Amino acid sequence: MDRSAKTRSGSGPFYGYIIVIALFITMVFAAGINFAFGVFFEPVRTEFGWTSAMTAGAFSLSMIIQGLMGIVMGGLTDRLGPRIVMTISAVILGIGYYLMSRIDTLWQLYLYYGVIIGVGTSSGYVTPLSTVARWFNVKRNLMTGIVLIGMSLGTLIAPIVSERLIASYDWRLAYVISAIALFVVVLLSAQFLKRDPSTFRQEPDGKAANNPIVSKLNSTGFSLKEAIVKRQFWLLAGAELCFGFILFSILIHVVPHASFLGISSVRASVVLAALGFFGIIGRIVLGNAADRIGNKRIYMVGFALLTVALLWLAFADEEWKLYVFSAIFGFSFAGMETSESPMAAWLFGLKAHGLVFGTLIVAFTVGASLGPLLTGYIFDLTGKYQLAFIILAVFGILGLSFTVQLKSLLMNRT
């Protein structure tokens, strides 16, 4: 019997680790380039004379599209599997980022970044994390954390690389290079993806789980129709909205804020990159902790730390204080992201995880679309970011209040 036959019979190496590697690589490029929008923000805005709110509006539209299409991508992942979904996304993203190098008017920015890249990016979070949830039970948080370390690594590297490309050439060529790199890497990585362990006649984690709680979670669950009428669904949706509002307001505006304080563009990009560095630590530490203490507690700790970090940022007026902010904020938000997909599985099971999780992410993207827009508007109105950061801290407290009320319904489900 050849090696492939052994693998398919369940006696070979566990293919789930190949899945994790492929998704890790995908996240480095897809998430990194997406989060580098903050580095492109000022060069694009300055060249065309657009306001901060006008420019951030394209990212806000992209997040709305991501949220709405995330439902579709989650459903397609459940039905067709991640390989097909991510292959299509690679093509769309390659086209979208290339077109960004050709923009001359505001409507093109909104069409290319807001719509096309929004559609392409809509699978870049739901599909990978839903796939990991199907391949792992006992190690679900740990493996989710490893995949999302790719996102943190991308957030660490992409802003610095993008800034150097913009400084050495211009922002248009930087987008062309990004388009080519993203298309090639995501397309190739997608070909290694499989929907779940049954493809190789294997069990999650490479063996059958003996934990009765885990077994019950896999054998029961809610459809989207059943989940959406539960109070727990809307509590988690509220927490996700707050999380998205906070996170993307910072990702888009922390570099302009640093520049406003008189920090050079190179060092300002390092402030954003530092979020990725400390995010790696957060995913490892909090990802491991979540498998022991639960995802709800990770969310509670995360929202508390985000609130502290944002209040600190509101009054930070020196460069070193921005790095303190990056340490606290990067550590906490990354740990929370690691718990997002497992949280949905804990609450609603795996019966329709991709669709349920994709629908929940709509709330996240609504917040992510409104946050940068409101933050940019407040800056245009007041000439500084302090009030915006205080408002973000209030959203942190609100998210914490939603999280405290969460509880799983699966143990009562027959």
Q: Is the pLDDT of residue 33 over 50?
A: yes
The answer to whether 323 and 274 are in contact (CB under 8 A) is yes
pLDDT in tens, 153-190: 887 788 888 888 998 888 999 999 999 999 999 999 99
Which pTM does this prediction carry? Answer: 0.73
Q: Is the pLDDT of residue 224 over 50?
A: yes
Question: Is 243 domain-assigned?
Answer: yes
Looking at residue 52, which CATH number applies to its domain? 1.20.1250.20
Residue 3 confidence class, pLDDT cut points 50, 70, 90:
very low
DSSP letters spanning 22-81: HHHHHHHHHHHHHHTHHHHHHHHHHHHT--HHHHHHHHHHHHHHHHHHHHHHHHHHHHH-
Question: Is 208 domain-assigned?
Answer: no
Q: Is the pLDDT of residue 8 over 70?
A: no
The structure tokens listed for 224 are 């989207």
Phi, psi (degrees; rounded to nearest 5) at 349 = 80, -170
In sequence order, the 6+-apart residues with CB closer than 8 A to the CB of 76 are: 84, 85, 123
Q: What percent of the chain has pLDDT over 70?
A: 92
Question: Is 4 domain-assigned?
Answer: no
pLDDT in tens, 269-303: 788 778 878 888 888 888 788 878 888 999 999 99
Phi, psi (degrees; rounded to nearest 5) at 221 = 160, 175
Question: Is 2 domain-assigned?
Answer: no
Distance from C-alpha of 272 to C-alpha of 36, rounded to nearest angstrom: 9
Question: Is 414 domain-assigned?
Answer: no
pLDDT given at position 207: 65
DSSP state of 12: S
In sequence order, the 6+-apart residues with CB closer than 8 A to the CB of 104 are: none
pLDDT given at position 219: 52
In sequence order, the 6+-apart residues with CB closer than 8 A to the CB of 391 are: 374, 378
Distance from C-alpha of 284 to C-alpha of 148, rounded to nearest angstrom: 10
Q: Is the pLDDT of residue 86 over 50?
A: yes
Q: Which domain holds residue 403?
A: 14-203+213-409
Question: Is 287 domain-assigned?
Answer: yes
Mean pLDDT to the nearest integer, 108-121: 94
**Which of 92-96, 148-152, 234-238, 333-337 is least confident?**
148-152
pLDDT given at position 412: 55
The structure tokens listed for 206 are 């490479």
Q: Is the pLDDT of residue 410 over 70?
A: no
pLDDT given at position 1: 34
Question: Is 166 domain-assigned?
Answer: yes
Question: Is 9 domain-assigned?
Answer: no
The answer to whether 333 and 306 are in contact (CB under 8 A) is yes
Domain tally for the chain? 1
Distance from C-alpha of 186 to C-alpha of 369, rounded to nearest angstrom: 25
Residue 411 confidence class, pLDDT cut points 50, 70, 90:
low
The answer to whether 41 and 60 are in contact (CB under 8 A) is no
pLDDT given at position 344: 87
Q: Which residues are paired to 349 by β-bridges?
A: 221
Q: Is the pLDDT of residue 6 over 80?
A: no
Which residue is associated with the tokens 């992410």?
Answer: 361
Q: Within 169-294, where are the H helices? A: 171-190, 212-219, 224-227, 231-260, 265-293
Mean pLDDT to the nearest integer, 219-228: 79
Q: Please, what is the average pLDDT of the chain?
A: 85
pLDDT given at position 389: 95
Higher pLDDT, 322 or 350: 322
